[in-house]
Amino acid sequence: MFSPRRLLLLTSLFFSAAPCFALPRIIVSIPEQTLLVLDDTGGKLGKFPVSTSRFGVGDRPRSFATPLGSLAVAGKVGAGAPSGTVFKGRRPTGEILAPNAPGRDPIVTRILHLRGLEASNARAFNRGIYIHGTPVESSIGRPASYGCIRMRSNDVMRVFDAVPVGTPVEIINSSLGHAVREAAAMRRLGAM
C-alpha cells in the first residue's frame, strides 16, 4: 500500500489536468522490470525494459540492493560518447563494448547518477546507484544488477537525452498499472 504522500506524488505524475510539470518524470517498477518516462505534461515518452538488483530492494551499505522511493537525477555522464563506451569511476576508459560481448559486465554508454530524497534511500548517491547501460543486454527484463538500474545502450541513450539533471525518479515495488489505479483513485477523491 502507498503512503498518502506517495499517492499524491503518483497522482501528480500520471494525471495532470494542465501542463504543470517543469521536468519530465521517471518511474521504475521493480516487479515489472520496467522504466517509464513521462514528459513535462504527464504524457508517455517511452517505456523500457530494465534490470534491477538480483539482491532485492533496500538502501543498506554493501547490500547491492535497489533503493525504493523518491529519488532524483543528480548528475549525467557520457553525453556524446559512442554507444558501448566503458566507464570506470564515471570516466570513459577508451574501451567500447558491443551488446552481449563476452566477459565482464562494466557500466557502459550513459550514466544517470541518482540521489535519494527520503530517509529510506538517503545512501543511494554515495552507494553509486545509477541508471546506466550494460553490455549484458541479454539479462534485461529480470533482476540481475548489483543495485543499479541497467538498460540496453540504445534505450539509456534515449532516456539520457530526454531528461535533465533534477528529473524526479520514483522506484516502486508494485506494477505501473497498480500505481496508475492508485493515482486515479486519489485524483477522484481530490475532485470530490
3-state secondary structure 130-167: EEEECCCHHHCCCCCECCCEEECHHHHHHHHHHCCCCC
pLDDT tens-digit map of 75-117: 999 999 999 999 999 999 999 999 998 888 899 999 999 999 9
Q: What are the residues facing 103 on neighbouring strands?
A: none
Higher per-residue confidence, 188 vs 140: 140
Segment 161-179 mean pLDDT: 91
Grid coordinates belonging to 97 = 563494448
CA distance 117 to 125: 10
Query: Distance of alpha carbon 147 from its chain centroid, rounded?
Result: 11
Per the structure, the count of domains in the chain is 1
Q: Compute the Cα dihedral for 13, 118, 165, 163 and give only its sign.
A: negative
pLDDT tens-digit map of 119-151: 999 999 999 999 999 999 999 999 999 999 999
CATH of the domain at 112: 2.40.440.10
| pLDDT value, residue 86 | 97
Q: Within a 13 Å sphere around the CA of 111, how many CA atoms are in the beta-carbon half?
A: 23
| pLDDT value, residue 19 | 43
CB-based contacts of 118: which residues, under 8 Å, 6+ apart? Answer: 69, 70
Domain span at residue 81? Answer: 4-191
Segment 50-74 mean pLDDT: 96
Could you tell me which of 173, 176, 98 has the C-alpha nearest to residue 138?
A: 98
Grid coordinates belonging to 53 = 538488483
Segment 59-85 mean pLDDT: 96
pTM, entire model: 0.83
When pLDDT is cut at 50, 70 and 90, the band that residue 179 belongs to is low
CA distances from residue 127 to 31, 43, 131, 155, 159 in whole angstroms, order as listed: 22, 31, 13, 23, 22
CB-based contacts of 137: which residues, under 8 Å, 6+ apart? Answer: 99, 100, 152, 153
Segment 21-39 mean pLDDT: 91
| pLDDT value, residue 15 | 42
Percent of the chain with pLDDT over 90: 71
